[in-house]
């Protein structure tokens, strides 16, 4: 009896030990590869920060052994006096080995943190530190070529407007926001002239800036009020360049009042949800593929400091596994306009259609691109002014 009991206990111990070994408990479970996200806005803003947050969740599903930490609302309004290096220190203490800063405003802080932590990998989404030679070897820049997404948005807007007046709700003024607003204008101008066969002088494209990526009461202009002003003065399509969806909310209110108006939000694929009656579509970022590329490089020892400005996957711009930029057509986009928009997307993808081709002029009349000149990446990236034909400020507020 004693022998049988001992035998049973030995068998139990064997299987318990085997289970522990298989699960990693016998020698300590493998540590996850922790990566951190610093988000300028709320993680669930239905805009820019949520698109990054979901990109991080995509990494967790795609790259084995990864775990995300995030800190959202990293901006002067929500966290006055808190610096990027302080937040990075906190993440490093919690085990982060790879940290992503998602806003242009974080450029100086994330560079400083990268110098302070040479053994941690850093990514700044937007920015040009690698281009200018300011980046340490452990920092890369990542962005998607949203210029294409904005061209598509402008194209759809011009095909839909009944008044010929398109409003652009802009954030703060810098090179990035100028080139994206200009891209939207170029898409609208192309649709207006080439598809609708109308005179470009009859197209009104107004940019109004609020002063930051989203509303900070007492600091920025109120985007709700800006959107209302557009709709109240005959602009029937408002395209957003900010991180949040005020233009869609106001468009729905106006539609319920009987006005024929439309909106195009920005950044997040799901931004049209609940706005079928007004939403023409949304150009959006898909950060997952870029994040995966860089995190895999850091894990495998193949990291290099690089400036990545990633194209859409023109085979399918809405492929979540391959395309950094997408355009989700909205329910309110008329069927004929949608057909034209699909064709426009195909033409952009063939390289036969390049809207950044001269002659193009800056707002003050100086030459941006000479006759026949095709813009280089740097010329587009460092756009100095809005383009001739656009109304609105080109300089800082």
User: DSSP labels for 164-196?
Assistant: SEEEEEE-S-SHHHHHHHHHHHHHHHHIIIIIS
Q: Do 126 and 213 reside in the same domain of the chain?
A: no
Rounded Cα–Cα distance for residues 264 and 125 (Å): 23
The CATH number that applies at residue 295 is: 3.40.50.2300
Q: Is residue 302 part of a domain?
A: yes
* Count of structural domains within the chain: 2
Q: Do 46 and 96 reside in the same domain of the chain?
A: yes
Q: Do 300 and 337 reside in the same domain of the chain?
A: no
Q: Do 295 and 363 reside in the same domain of the chain?
A: no
Q: Is residue 7 part of a domain?
A: no
Q: Do 151 and 139 reside in the same domain of the chain?
A: no
Give the HSE-up count for residue 141: Cα atoms under 13 Å, Cβ half-sphere. Answer: 22
Q: Do 306 and 275 reside in the same domain of the chain?
A: no
Task: Give the H/E segment covering residue 335.
Answer: helix 335-349
Rounded Cα–Cα distance for residues 287 and 271 (Å): 16
Q: Is residue 20 part of a domain?
A: no
Q: Do 176 and 232 reside in the same domain of the chain?
A: yes
Q: Report the pLDDT value the prediction gives residue 32, as an integer from 0 to 100.
A: 94
332 lies in which domain range?
147-284+327-381
Q: Is residue 251 part of a domain?
A: yes
Q: Report the pLDDT value the prediction gives residue 353, as an integer from 0 to 100.
A: 93
Q: Is residue 388 part of a domain?
A: no
Strands in 165-170's sheet, in edge-to-edge order, are 204-209, 165-170, 237-240, 262-264
Q: Report the pLDDT value the prediction gives residue 397, as an integer from 0 to 100.
A: 55
Q: Report the pLDDT value the prediction gives residue 352, as an integer from 0 to 100.
A: 81
Q: Is residue 66 part of a domain?
A: yes
Q: Do 276 and 293 reside in the same domain of the chain?
A: no
Q: Do 336 and 292 reside in the same domain of the chain?
A: no
> Over the Cα atoms of the chain, what is R_g?
24
* Exposure string for 369-393, b = 16+ CB within 10 A, e = fewer: beeeeebeeeebbebebbbebbebe
Q: Identify the residue whose tokens are 């008329």.
A: 334
Q: Do 291 and 364 reside in the same domain of the chain?
A: no
Find all residues with CB under 8 Å of 362, minimum gap 6, and list them.
368, 384, 385, 386, 387, 388, 394
User: DSSP labels for 226-293?
Assistant: HHHHHHHTT--EEEE-SSS-HHHHHHHHHHHTT---EEE--B-GGGGTT-TTTB-EEEEE--HHHHHH
Q: Do 39 and 132 reside in the same domain of the chain?
A: yes
Q: Is residue 9 part of a domain?
A: no
Local confidence pLDDT in tens for the 397 residues of the chain: 444 444 444 444 444 444 444 444 444 567 899 999 999 999 999 999 999 999 999 999 999 999 999 999 999 989 999 999 999 999 999 999 999 999 999 999 999 999 999 999 999 998 999 999 999 999 999 999 999 999 999 999 999 999 999 999 999 999 999 999 999 999 999 999 999 999 989 999 999 999 999 999 999 999 999 999 999 999 999 999 999 999 999 999 999 999 999 999 999 999 999 999 999 999 999 999 999 999 999 999 999 999 999 999 999 999 999 999 999 999 999 999 999 999 999 999 987 899 999 999 999 999 999 999 999 999 999 999 999 999 999 986 5
Q: Do 81 and 202 reside in the same domain of the chain?
A: no
User: DSSP labels for 11-25?
Assistant: HHHHHHHHHHHHHTT
Q: Is residue 350 part of a domain?
A: yes
Find all residues with CB under 8 Å of 256, minimum gap 6, and list them.
none
The answer to whether 144 and 154 are in contact (CB under 8 A) is no
Q: Report the pLDDT value the prediction gives residue 350, as an integer from 0 to 100.
A: 86
Q: Identify the residue whose tokens are 């009859």.
A: 202
Q: Report the pLDDT value the prediction gives residue 19, as an integer from 0 to 100.
A: 43
Q: Report the pLDDT value the prediction gives residue 396, as an integer from 0 to 100.
A: 67
Q: Report the pLDDT value the prediction gives residue 181, as an integer from 0 to 100.
A: 98
């Amino acid at each position: 009896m004693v022998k049988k009991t001992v035998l049973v206990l030995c068998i139990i111990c064997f299987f318990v030990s085997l289970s522990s070994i298989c699960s990693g408990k016998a020698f300590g479970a493998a540590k996850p590869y922790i990566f951190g996200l610093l988000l300028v806005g709320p993680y669930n803003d239905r805009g820019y920060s949520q698109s990054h947050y979901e990109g991080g969740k995509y990494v967790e599903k795609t790259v084995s052994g990864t775990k995300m930490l995030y800190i959202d609302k990293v901006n002067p309004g929500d966290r006055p006096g808190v610096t990027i290096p302080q937040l990075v220190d906190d993440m490093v203490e919690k085990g982060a080995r790879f940290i992503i800063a998602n806003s242009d405003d974080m450029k100086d802080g994330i560079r400083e943190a990268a110098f302070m932590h040479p053994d941690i990998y850093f990514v700044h989404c937007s920015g040009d530190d690698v281009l200018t030679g300011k980046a340490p070897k452990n920092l890369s820049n990542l962005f998607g070529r949203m210029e294409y997404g904005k061209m598509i948005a402008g194209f759809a807007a011009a095909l839909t407007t009944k008044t010929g007046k398109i409003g652009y709700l802009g954030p703060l003024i810098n090179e990035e926001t100028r080139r994206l607003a200009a891209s939207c204008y170029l898409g609208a101008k192309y649709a207006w002239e080439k598809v609708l066969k109308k005179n470009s002088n009859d197209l009104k494209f107004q940019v109004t800036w609020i002063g930051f990526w989203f509303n900070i009461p007492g600091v920025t202009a109120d985007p709700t009020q800006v959107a209302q002003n557009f709709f109240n003065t005959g602009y029937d399509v408002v395209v957003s360049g900010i991180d949040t969806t005020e233009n869609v909310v106001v468009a729905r209110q106006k539609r319920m009042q009987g006005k024929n108006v439309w909106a195009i939000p920005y950044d997040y694929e799901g931004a049209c949800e609940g706005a079928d009656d007004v939403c023409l579509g949304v150009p959006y970022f898909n950060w997952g593929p870029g994040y995966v590329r860089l995190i895999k490089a850091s894990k495998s020892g193949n990291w290099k400091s690089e400036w990545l400005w990633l194209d859409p996957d023109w085979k399918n711009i809405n492929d979540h596994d391959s395309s950094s930029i997408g355009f989700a057509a909205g329910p309110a986009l008329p069927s004929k306009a949608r057909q034209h928009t699909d064709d426009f997307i195909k033409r952009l993808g063939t390289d036969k259609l390049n809207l950044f081709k001269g002659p193009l002029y800056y707002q003050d009349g100086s030459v941006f691109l000479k006759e026949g000149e095709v813009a280089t990446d740097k010329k587009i990236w460092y756009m100095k002014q809005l383009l001739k034909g656009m109304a609105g400020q080109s300089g800082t507020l």
